[in-house]
Amino acid sequence: MTRASVFFAALLAVLVPLSLLAGRVWIDPFDVAGSGANAALILMELRAPRAALAIVVGAGLGAAGAAMQGYLRNPLADPGLFGIAPMAALGAVASFWIGAALPPAIAAWSLPAFALIGAGLAMVLLALIAGRTSSGAGGGIALFTLAGLMIASLAGALTALAITMAPNAFALSQIVMWLNGALTDRSWDQVWIAAPLTAAGIAVLFAAGRSLDALTLGEDAARSLGMDPRRLLFLLVLGVGLTVGAGVAVAGIIGFVGLIVPHLVRPLTDRMPSSLILPSAIAGAALVLTADSAVRIMPFVTELRLGIALSLIGAPFFLWLLIRMRRGHL
């Protein structure tokens, strides 16, 4: 493990117990039973799955962000650029329409299932487009990214359409609430859906590491070093699709994590893209866990949505980043 991984892993090790104890009901670590009749229940059935989910979702977004920035050779890249997250969100929104017609036993699973189908559809579309853009020299990455952005716009427009045509006010509020990601009221079921997919996705992104390093020298030089653009694209679409798709399926849209985390990690590494993936996963987990614990503690009547909270932190950070880059500090 590198210095950055060790640092963020230690941070995470401190944050996890704190997060489990914090909330509307504060639990005394030395006297769980004395903290109230339901303390053990709250701990095991509410907070532990929620913390686990924050770790899984954050790790996936962090790793995907690091890989995307390496792939696009751009510190402003974000996992959403490929259009996978918006397509997963579109799938989830579709489930609000279709799910009502399904028997209750299946309906509970329809949202994550539809979100994963949306992410899978985006991956297939990207793969089809990749077949047409990755041949020939240079510019393939830029063209491919534009195609991803078009998928994102299209998914965004269709989602907006679904919102404006919502069958009733309740469905409308459900959709809007869900689109602003959150980890409220999640169970272990969601953890079991997201954890294996995210772990597989991070492993795939990790396998792309050395090719991403070669891209530091530009697309042509990387190819001259034996980097296979098609293989790299495949690994990236698969890795980002699995991590981001799984994340959206269980938590909705959570922005800015994939963008910010690699910047927090980069100064602690040798700045090679491959060195960023693992520590970005750990740091992403720490960031989402912290943010989720924070929204839980805030004294609002209804809990602040995690997706909104992260964007509230994220946007000013992004601005600061842009100004710093302008001064040539990156």
Partner 1 sequence: MTLAANTLSLTRGDARVLSDITAVLEPGKITAIVGPNGAGKSSLLMTLAGLLVPDQGSACLEDRSIGDLAAQDRARAIGYLPQGADIAWDVAVEALVALGRMPHGDGHTAQGTAAVNAALGALDLEHLRGRPVGCLSGGETARVLLARVLAGQPRWILADEPLAALDLSHQIRLIGHLKQSAQAGTGVVIVLHDLALAMNHADHVLVLDGGTCAAQGAPSEALSSDRINTVWGVRSEWIGQNGTNPGQQALITHGL
Cβ-contact 87, 60 below 8 angstroms? no
330 forms part of the interface with partner 1 (CB under 8 A): yes
Residues forming a β-bridge with 253: 180
The distance of closest approach from Cβ of residue 211 to partner 1 in the complex, given in angstroms and rounded to an integer, is 9
Q: Which amino acid type is present at position 282?
A: I
The distance of closest approach from Cβ of residue 70 to partner 1 in the complex, given in angstroms and rounded to an integer, is 8
In whole angstroms, give the CA distance from residue 72 to residue 326.
19
The continuous run of DSSP H or E covering 203 comes out as helix 188-207
- Could you tell me which stretch among 6-14, 110-118, 178-186, 206-214 binds partner 1 (CB under 8 A)? 206-214
217 forms part of the interface with partner 1 (CB under 8 A): yes
The distance of closest approach from Cβ of residue 240 to partner 1 in the complex, given in angstroms and rounded to an integer, is 19
In whole angstroms, give the CA distance from residue 171 to residue 21.
34
Angular region, 307: left φ>0, alpha ψ -120 to 50, beta rest: alpha
| Alpha carbon 286 to chain centroid, angstroms | 13
Length reported for the chain:
330
Closest C-alpha among 78, 71, 56, 116 to residue 255: 78
Residues 73-92 contacting partner 1, CB under 8 A: 73-74
224 forms part of the interface with partner 1 (CB under 8 A): yes
The distance of closest approach from Cβ of residue 66 to partner 1 in the complex, given in angstroms and rounded to an integer, is 12
In whole angstroms, give the CA distance from residue 53 to residue 58.
8
Closest C-alpha among 27, 279, 292 to residue 181: 292
223 forms part of the interface with partner 1 (CB under 8 A): yes
185 forms part of the interface with partner 1 (CB under 8 A): no
- Could you tell me which stretch among 1-9, 151-159, 215-223, 278-286 binds partner 1 (CB under 8 A)? 215-223
Binding mask 90-129 for partner 1 (x = CB under 8 A): ----------------------------------------
Radius of gyration of the chain (CA): 20
Residue of the chain from 214, 244, 249, 259 that contacts partner 1 (CB under 8 A): 214
- Could you tell me which stretch among 100-108, 208-216, 249-257, 284-292 binds partner 1 (CB under 8 A)? 208-216
Cβ-contact 104, 237 below 8 angstroms? no
Q: Which is nearer to partner 1, 19 or 275 (CB)?
A: 275
Residue of the chain from 82, 93, 194, 213 that contacts partner 1 (CB under 8 A): 213
Question: What is the dihedral sign for C-alpha 254, 292, 192, 285?
Answer: positive
Q: How far is CA 187 from CA 35, 45, 124, in A?
A: 22, 7, 30
Residue of the chain from 33, 105, 137, 169 that contacts partner 1 (CB under 8 A): 137
Task: Number of residues interacting with partner 1: please give it, by CB under 8 A.
Answer: 24
- Please name the residue that has the structure tokens 């190819």: 223
Q: Which is nearer to partner 1, 174 or 216 (CB)?
A: 216
140 forms part of the interface with partner 1 (CB under 8 A): no
310 forms part of the interface with partner 1 (CB under 8 A): no
In whole angstroms, give the CA distance from residue 111 to residue 117.
10
Residues 238-297 contacting partner 1, CB under 8 A: 270-273
Q: Which is nearer to partner 1, 67 or 227 (CB)?
A: 227
In whole angstroms, give the CA distance from residue 206 to residue 243.
12
Residue of the chain from 45, 185, 189, 220 that contacts partner 1 (CB under 8 A): 220
Residues forming a β-bridge with 180: 253
- Which positions touch partner 1 (CB under 8 A)? 73-74, 136-137, 210, 213-218, 220-221, 223-228, 270-273, 330
